[in-house]
Amino acid sequence: MVIGIIGAGASGMAAALAASEYEDAQVVLMERQARVGRKLAATGNGRCNLTNLHANEQGYHGDEPTFASDALSRYDVENTLDWFKRMGLYTVAEESGRVYPYSDQANSVVDVLRFALNRPNIRLLTGFEVAKVKKIDAGFRVEGTEETILCDKLIIACGGLAGTKLGGSMAGYKFLRSFGHKCTKLRPTLVQLKSSWSGCAALKGVRANCHAAIFHNGEMHLESTGELQFTEYGLSGPVMFEISRDACQGNGEWICRLDFLPDVERDSLKAELIRRKSTGWNAEDLLTGILHNRLGRVLTQSVGIKGLWKIADLNEDEIDAVCNGVKCFDVALTEPMGMDAAQVTAGGIVTSEFAPQTMESRLVPGLYACGEVLDVDGDCGGYNLQWAWSSGRLAGHHAGGNI
């Protein structure tokens, strides 16, 4: 039995390895890029956060959030780590639960998968862009750049649209739509958010640990604590990725409220600033030793205090205003960066048209989908790759052996 798999990213490689466990299965894995796992090699800032010890179904989203549960419980985190261990990958978990390769190199993950694919019943075709797929009586016809592949079963593992420069494309959606499947609205998620506040550009490159909460028309959207990074256009960093889902998608006012000292009480900060009145320092150093210098100066200026004033001359209202700037600073948000800057696509192929126990299409028997192309997206912190491994292995095992 020939099993065609389009896409040798995270979920496609997982599917190929799972399907190839069955003696009768002949796997043809097709990848349009010159090498496998190109996006995977760029994940986690080059470190690959391959899963999360705390991953559970609450961390996944989509129109039908429970769809992911079957795959995630059958191939849970423990099972996934064991699978990687058997392939030779050593891993290490951070306190937050995020798991990385022990080498700290995403390439180690790509390499162990690449070596594992070297099996007699897997034919890997790289630089092979699939242009068209068709259902035929005996299975599927897959038309590639130089060759047409005929297969009994077909797994679409083309990923989503996010990370366009690393391989994100519309191809998977297009193929599945050609079989009659529907697609929800695609949105960028785990993405930087743009701001109209000019301070962002002045703070470009500055990182700060903070509590961040996004509000839409005064109502809390999402909140989290972690590292924030200022960019030329707005706000980025892990904490923003965590709370960016569906931010700035509706009309109205979107703001991000930042507490730059979440572990310090306001009264304690105020007492320290008042103590500094006896120092002789200029106001531009009011927050020196507390926050990143540039951030301290921008916050102080933003409440109308001139850098060359003396701290000794500041009155209580001015000290209060600085405390407010540190503990409750509102940044106006405008829109998310585009799909090329996003890590993940929210939305995708409608999951109710697939069986969650097998990943097989309910419309076209023998057709499967896995990974980001489906309407499933996970929280920041290894959840999306866990979905790719679990859904890919489930599709591969079912297509290969009808488990």
Judged by the rule CB under 6 A, the positions of this chain that interact with ligand FAD are 6-12, 30-33, 38-40, 42-44, 48-49, 129-130, 157-159, 162-163, 166-167, 169, 171, 343-344, 371-373, 382-385, 388
Residue closer to ligand FAD (CB basis): 11 or 358: 11
The whole-angstrom separation of Cα 244 and Cα 237 is: 10
DSSP letter (8 states) at residue 343? S
Separation of CA 265 from chain center: 32
Residues contacting 289, CB < 8 A, separation 6+? none
Q: Are 12 and 371 in contact (CB under 8 A)?
A: yes
Torsion angles phi and psi, residue 40, rounded to 5: -55, -40
The whole-angstrom separation of Cα 84 and Cα 269 is: 47
The whole-angstrom separation of Cα 312 and Cα 274 is: 9
Closest approach, Cβ 214 to ligand FAD, in A, equals 21
Closest approach, Cβ 142 to ligand FAD, in A, equals 9
Closest approach, Cβ 172 to ligand FAD, in A, equals 6
Residue closer to ligand FAD (CB basis): 155 or 283: 155
Residue closer to ligand FAD (CB basis): 295 or 359: 359
Residue closer to ligand FAD (CB basis): 347 or 382: 382
The whole-angstrom separation of Cα 171 and Cα 268 is: 55
Closest approach, Cβ 299 to ligand FAD, in A, equals 30
The whole-angstrom separation of Cα 89 and Cα 85 is: 5
Residue closer to ligand FAD (CB basis): 318 or 372: 372
Closest approach, Cβ 357 to ligand FAD, in A, equals 19
Q: What is the CA radius of gyration of the chain?
A: 25
Closest approach, Cβ 387 to ligand FAD, in A, equals 7
Residue nearest to ligand FAD (CB): 9
Residue closer to ligand FAD (CB basis): 230 or 383: 383
Please, which residues bridge with residue 140 across strands? 135, 151
Closest approach, Cβ 230 to ligand FAD, in A, equals 19
The whole-angstrom separation of Cα 370 and Cα 314 is: 60
Residue closer to ligand FAD (CB basis): 287 or 376: 376
Q: Are 192 and 233 in contact (CB under 8 A)?
A: yes
